[in-house]
Amino acid sequence: MKKPGSGLIKLFLAGGILIIFSCTPEACFEETNSFLKASFYNNETGKFQAPDSVTLFGEGRDTIMIYNKERNLQPANFPLNAETESCTFVVRINGVSDTISFFYSSYPAFISKECGYTFNHILESHSVTNNIIDNVIIRNRNITTSNEENIRIFY
């Protein structure tokens, strides 16, 4: 008769093989930046509508575009500076420029072991010029890596 212990010893050894395969490193596939996400709305119809063209860059950084004459952009992701408490952007919609300033606080947030940390933000207030933009409303003040709309831009 076969001893039950011999089978268990084989199982014991098999566990070692499992350990070797359980230590595989993983790569970062998640979003590592918390963007302020802005959706565009037509002010006349009130409907969700992407502009024909959107250009976006930080004030004083016009050589580095975030979007350059982007078509059908919806939503636009505004990167906030975690080292400051406000950021100003130039938004050019259909060739007409406006500036939007955001005032916020920042705090560190863990993404994952593979990706590390990012900064989330809490949007406190904003100001906007009204050349083509009629209004900006805040939908969600918590700016994280999730895909939640933060503001609506009516143009």
Partner 1 sequence: MLLIIPAVSLRAQDSILIPLKLNAGIDLSGPVIYMTDKNNLNAEGFFSADRNEKISYVVEGGYSRFRYSQYNYDYLAKGIFIRAGADFNMLEPQTSKGKYRAGIGVRYGTSIYSMETPSFSNENYWGSVTSSIPQSTRLGHFLEVVPGVKTELFKNISIGWSVRLRLLISAGTGRELRPVHMPGFGNGGKSATAGFSYFLVWQVPYKSKMVIIKKEEPEEYDETDEENFEP
Which residues would be at the binding site for partner 1 (CB under 8 A)? Answer: 4-5, 8-9, 11-12, 15-16, 18-19, 22, 32-33, 58, 61, 64, 66, 79-83, 87, 107-113, 116-120
Smaller CB separation from partner 1, 52 or 62 = 62
Smaller CB separation from partner 1, 54 or 82 = 82
CB of 59 vs partner 1, minimal distance in Å:
11
Smaller CB separation from partner 1, 2 or 47 = 2
Strands (DSSP E) found in 84-143: 86-93, 96-112, 116-128, 135-138, 142-143
| Buried b or exposed e, range 51-72, using 16+ CB within 10 angstroms | bebbbbbbeeeeeeebbeebee
SS3 state at 14: helix
CB of 43 vs partner 1, minimal distance in Å:
28
